[in-house]
Amino acid sequence: IFCCAILRSFFFIPKLIAMPSKACSVALAGVGAYAAAQTFLNPAGSPQVHEQQKVRNLRQQQPATEKVAASSSVGVLAMGAAGAAVATAAAQAGRRAPRRAQVVRQATAVAEKTFTKMPASVKPGVVTGQALVDLLNYAKENEFAIPGVNIVGTNSINACMEAAAKAGGPIMVTFSKGGGQMITGKSADNTDDAACIAGAVAGALHCRAVAKLYGVPVILHTDHCQKAWLPWFDGMLEANEEYFAKNGEPLFSSHMLDLSEEPLEENISICKKYLERFAKVNLLLEMELGITGGEEDGVDNSDVDSSRLYTQPEEVWQVYEALSSVPNGNFTVAAAFGNVHGVYAPGNVSLQPEILHNTQKFIKEKLGCESDKPVNFVFHGGSGSSKEDIQYAIKAGVIKMNIDTDTQWAFWDGMNQYQKKHVDYLQAQIGNPEGPEKPNKKYYDPRMSLRAGEESMAARLVKAMEDLNCIDRL
């Protein structure tokens, strides 16, 4: 606006040649136009208004003869430029208004979208607090489980939400300690788990920015945290508390503490301490009893005593009794029933989901409650499990099943198949079967192979959601 005013002022210079103090007149005309435009664009009391006052003071300090000579020119030029500036600003505002209105309508439509089958508290986007509790109870009552998928970047995050949208069910996006570091970048400084914390937080913020666009409920969760990794856990909890103070809800939906290698009493004591802190910001805690065999994210339990792979009902009761005493405390239990991370040949893994059924009966008797499934169980090491074992576990109150190995393979296989299909176009930047000077950029563009991985992973997840009865649940 200022430049426009100055140009218009110089346009009138020939008409001012015969007038005294023409330089002063032109300068003041430009300043006057700027001030007039700013009066339109800025409210009273702003810094720009104070600048206008300075200009008026300068005018009052001019000699009387110059004031008379310049007054008419200044008025005409300033009002002309200001008028043009106002008109331009109004036109721009008019053009922006429809676009802004459209964006607002789209955002409002997403926010107001409701599900016909889900509890009323559950909306598209990240689900926390009471809405999360309602969602998990709905899953248990209707005997389906939500896939908890380990991710390593935005591509696998997006594949999760794409699968959920296709299947018509909720999804849990799960950040491991190593996955968080991968998001930050393996070369970044990871002193005190800084990179692992920053990556998980960044991934959670990405989900919050895009989840509603997929139109599905998304649970933000973190995976196994053993005692030695508590600094990572504490860093994320602090991020939740900061987010809660600003937004009235936590950044994540839930976190997992895996203290299964510690004595039972210590496991319960630490979990209760954290749950008391969780309850203040509406976070849900997942805790583990017994050990999940196999290897994942640098933790190797391949050689563990097989007896530790199976949890006893009395142990689950001790956990339930302690954690239920926390006001506003919400939790799930990963009780081991032969679970193993990874995929193994048939016969090498012996799942015994009847342990979960027996545990529910035991705790129901202890509580004297009407519910046949008072505990919300989660199923670790779901990759490679039979559909029969999965669905029998769901009937025992499993509301979430972890999946990682199968989706890792699916993502890689999608990229690998893309490479095989276009191998002749991926050997050099220039030159392919169509000619020695033909470019190959559209084939080696990383988005092409990564998208193939996303599609393959999403397809595998839809199959997992079928096994979990998590189809058409919205």
How many Cα atoms are found within 13 Å in the side-chain-facing hemisphere of 125?
17
Query: Buried b vs exposed e over 412-441: b needs ≥16 C-beta within 10 Å?
Result: eebbeebeeebeebbeeeeebeeeeeeebe
Q: Are 440 and 432 in contact (CB under 8 A)?
A: yes
- Closest by alpha carbon to 378, among 344, 331, 420? 331
The reply to whether 223 belongs to the active site is yes
Active site residue: 223, 258, 404, 406, which one?
223
- Closest by alpha carbon to 159, among 426, 404, 353? 404
- Closest by alpha carbon to 279, among 330, 244, 228, 337? 330
CA distance 150 to 409: 12
Residue labelled with tokens 């630490």? 270
In sequence order, the 6+-apart residues with CB closer than 8 A to the CB of 251 are 201, 204, 205, 208, 220, 239, 240, 243, 244
According to DSSP, residue 337 is labeled B
CA distance 239 to 220: 13
User: Which residues are designated catalytic?
Assistant: 223
